[in-house]
Amino acid sequence: MIELKCNVYSNNGKVAGEIDLPDLFEEPVRKDLIRRAFRAISLSKRQPYGSSPFAGMRRVGQNVGANHGISRIPRVAGGSRGVLLASMVGGKSAHSPRSTKNLYVKVNKKERVLARRSAISSTAVRELVNLRGHSVPDELSLPVVVDKSVEGIKKTRDALNFLKTLGIEGEVERVKEGKKVRAGRGKMRGRRYKQPKGILMVEGKDQDLSAFRGLPGVEVSKVSALSIIKLAPGGNPGRLTIFTRSAIESIEEVKR
């Protein structure tokens, strides 16, 4: 088996060495499993909602029985108004949603593990990264791996300068210019804006890359917290990802 190698970049954007990538990056990209896992996760995050089980039932209604020349539906005492039934004004709702419904969507364990491994492997496929709309220089090796010196970046300004040395500062501008007002009712429900997904920074267990959080579209995650939602937003693999050397060395040890 051919060993996969990748350049390691320092905080000045220059190549500081090479690293052998784990076998995980040889995993074939299964787009079908990634989309299935993403859909299951998204559906499982829904907020249950529903009407009260007693809605429309807090009335006393009786039917007068047969041989009275009127239909036998529950009616209010001393009157002819129908109650309780779904076809009545003020009655219960027919087949209304219930907050007790289980909205969790199950994914087979082996499929979930394989989807996650495929999503990580897709970060090294240049065609998929370009297909998501990321602009990556040809001379930049994928996945992007940086050494420990990047931890010394403590200011957002310095973080942006580091991305400029790698030639991917255009990602920040793309996300900033792509922020749009959402069409529809979502504007009233706390999700007024839509914004493209930018760079994903993956740090090791004891590392801190919080200086990158202030950049538009940039997301920082621990290697142990990687998920389909972060690696393949929308179920589309190939997000531009920057790993620290420590994250690459421990990525196979993460519990799945």
Structural domain includes residue 166: yes
How much is the average pLDDT of 108-112? Answer: 95
> pLDDT by residue (tens digit) across 114-153?
999 999 999 999 999 999 999 899 999 999 999 988 988 9
In this structure, how many other beta carbons lie within 10 angstroms of the beta carbon of residue 13? 16
How much is the pLDDT for 254? Answer: 65
Contact 223, 205 (CB under 8 A): yes
> pLDDT by residue (tens digit) across 156-181?
999 999 999 999 999 999 999 999 99
Q: Between the CA of residue 112 and those of 31, 91, 153, what are the distances in Å?
A: 12, 45, 35
**Please, which pLDDT band fits residue 2 given cuts at 50, 70 and 90?**
very low
Structural domain includes residue 82: no
Q: Between the CA of residue 249 and those of 24, 105, 210, what are the distances in Å?
A: 11, 32, 20
Structural domain includes residue 148: yes
Structural domain includes residue 69: no
Alpha carbons 223 and 106: distance in angstroms, whole number: 24
Alpha carbons 169 and 56: distance in angstroms, whole number: 59
Instruction: Assess whether the previous peptide bond of 196 is cis (omega < 30° from 0).
Output: no
- In the chain, what is the straight-line distance between the N-terminal and C-terminal CA atoms, in Å? 25
How much is the pLDDT for 205? Answer: 87
Alpha carbons 17 and 19: distance in angstroms, whole number: 7
Alpha carbons 127 and 31: distance in angstroms, whole number: 14
Residue linked to tokens 């069409």: 183
Domain that holds residue 221: 5-45+109-253
pTM: 0.84
* Tally of domains in the chain: 1
> pLDDT by residue (tens digit) across 57-89?
999 998 888 998 889 999 998 888 999 999 999
Contact 145, 6 (CB under 8 A): yes
Q: Nearest to residue 217, comparing CAs of 163, 254, 255?
A: 163
Structural domain includes residue 139: yes
The amino acid occupying position 147 is D
Q: What is the mean pLDDT of the chain?
A: 91
Structural domain includes residue 83: no
Length of the chain: 256
Structural domain includes residue 93: no
> pLDDT by residue (tens digit) across 196-237?
999 999 998 888 899 999 999 999 999 999 999 999 999 999
- Determine phi and psi for 94, rounding to 5 degrees: -80, 120
Residue 200: CATH number of its domain: 3.40.1370.10
Alpha carbons 48 and 57: distance in angstroms, whole number: 22
Structural domain includes residue 84: no
Alpha carbons 133 and 197: distance in angstroms, whole number: 10
> pLDDT by residue (tens digit) across 40-65?
999 999 999 999 989 999 999 988 88
